[in-house]
Amino acid sequence: MPDKNRMADEHEDFIADLIGGHTTIASGAKYEKLDAVGEQTGRHWRFLAECKSTFDKGYRLTQELWEHVVKKTYERGADMRPMLAIRFYHEQGYTNYTPKYDLVVLDAHDYAEMRSELEDKDRKLNKVVEYAKLLEEGWQSTEARSKVWDEVS
């Protein structure tokens, strides 16, 4: 028989690290319904995650579960984003707690917004690199800045 507490604890710790946060105290209890919460650091993406783990070949995701995760997330804070984390363990007996797959479910709109922000940051970072190259080539700072940053605005 698998040690369900060990399965849950290891998965919750992994997800808490992944989202830059901590596990919740007594997750699943009366006052704390979800398992891992991102730290409040002023970052835009702060997740509250429900973690599920299994040795089974499948996991049934229902509207009811997702609605529960969303409701509990926004009750906790308007700055939070809901996440459902699902871990499948290898089927090699109940003593092998090596993860086979670690998956996360996010709202598609949250994903699109995250991707857009990352693409914007990548574009700006590329401009910094371009600016540095122009300075290395001997351009004057004001000329290089004008050439690179006018395009960003």
Give φ, ψ of 23 to 5 degrees. -80, 155
pLDDT digits (tens, 9 = 90+) for 37-76: 988 766 668 899 999 999 888 999 999 999 999 999 999 8
- The continuous run of DSSP H or E covering 50 comes out as strand 46-54
Domain ranges of the chain: 1-106, 108-153
pTM of the predicted model, to two decimals? 0.77
Q: Which fold has domain 1-106?
A: Trna Endonuclease; Chain: A, domain 1 (3.40.1350)
CA angle 105, 99, 103 (to 5 degrees): 10
Q: How far is CA 99 from CA 7, 30, 48, 72, 148, in A?
A: 10, 29, 21, 27, 46
